[in-house]
Amino acid sequence: MDLRHRPRRLRRTPALRRLARETRLHPADLIAPLFVEHGRGVRTPLPSLPGQTRWSPDTVVEEAQRLAGLGVGAVILFGLPAQKDARGTSGFDPAGPVPEALARLAKATPDLVLMADVCLCEYTDHGHCGVLAGGDVDNDATLPLLAAEAVAYARAGAHVVAPSAMMDGQVAAIRGGLDAAGLSTTAVLAYSAKSASAFYGPFRDAAGSTPGKGDRKGYQMDFANRTEALREVLLDVEEGADAVMVKPAGPNLDWIADAADAVDVPVAAYQVSGEYAALHAAADRGWLDLDRAAQETLVAIRRAGARWILTYFAGHAAEALRSGRWDRG
Q: What positions carry a catalytic annotation?
A: 194, 247
The interface with ligand PBG within residues 159-178 (CB under 6 A) comprises: 164
23-31, 182-190, 199-207, 294-302 -> range binding ligand PBG (CB under 6 A): 199-207
Q: How far is CA 301 from the centre of its chain?
A: 13
Separation CA 199–CA 189 (nearest Å): 21
Among 32, 72, 75, 119, binds ligand PBG (CB under 6 A): 119
Q: Which is nearer to ligand PBG, 123 or 326 (CB)?
A: 123
Q: How far apart are CA 36 and CA 124, in angstroms?
A: 16
For ligand PBG, the closer of residues 29 and 117 by Cβ is: 117
The SS3 assignment for 256 reads helix
User: What is the closest distance, in whole angstroms, from the C-beta atom of residue 272 to ligand PBG in the complex?
Assistant: 4
Closest to ligand PBG by CB, 204 vs 231, is: 204
State yes or no: cis peptide before 248, omega within 30 of 0: yes
**Nearest distance from C-beta of residue 215 to ligand PBG, angstroms:** 10
At how many degrees (to 10) do helices 314-322 and 57-69 cross?
Answer: 30
CA gap 200, 217 in Å, rounded:
13
Binding segment toward ligand PBG, per CB under 6 A, in 51-59, 113-121, 224-232, 313-321: 113-121
Q: Are 87 and 79 in contact (CB under 8 A)?
A: no
What 8-state DSSP symbol labels residue 113? E
Query: Least distance to ligand PBG from the beta carbon of 318, Å?
Result: 18
Candidates 1-9, 12-20, 114-122, 145-153 — which segment interacts with ligand PBG by CB under 6 A?
A: 114-122
- Binding to ligand PBG (CB under 6 A) within 280-319 occurs at none
Site for ligand PBG in 122-161 (CB under 6 A): 129
Q: What is the identity of the amino acid at 32?
A: A
Q: What angle do CA 239, 199, 91 make, to 5 degrees?
A: 50
Q: Give the one residue of 63, 93, 117, 319 binding ligand PBG; rule: CB under 6 A.
A: 117
Provide the Cα torsion 70, 190, 265, 238; round to 10°.
Answer: -170
Rounded Cα distance between 240 and 164, Å, is: 15
Q: Is 77 exposed, middle or buried (0-12, 13-18, 19+ CB in 10 A)?
A: buried
- Nearest distance from C-beta of residue 204 to ligand PBG, angstroms: 5
Rule CB under 6 A: say whether 121 interacts with ligand PBG. Answer: yes
Report helix angle 170-180 to 139-156, nearest 10. 40
Rule CB under 6 A: choose which of 200, 219, 223, 255 binds ligand PBG: 200
* Kind of pairing between the strands at 74-80 and 113-118: parallel
Of the residues 35, 123, 203, 308, which one makes contact with ligand PBG according to CB under 6 A:
203
Amino acid at 43: R
Among positions 52, 59, 273, 297, the unique one binding ligand PBG when judged by CB under 6 A = 273
- Whichever of 194 and 302 has its CB closer to ligand PBG, that residue is 194
Q: Which is nearer to ligand PBG, 175 or 247 (CB)?
A: 247
Looking at 89-97, 117-125, 229-237, 258-266, which segment touches ligand PBG (CB under 6 A)? 117-125
Residues in contact with ligand PBG by CB under 6 A are 117, 119, 121, 129, 164, 200, 203-204, 272-273
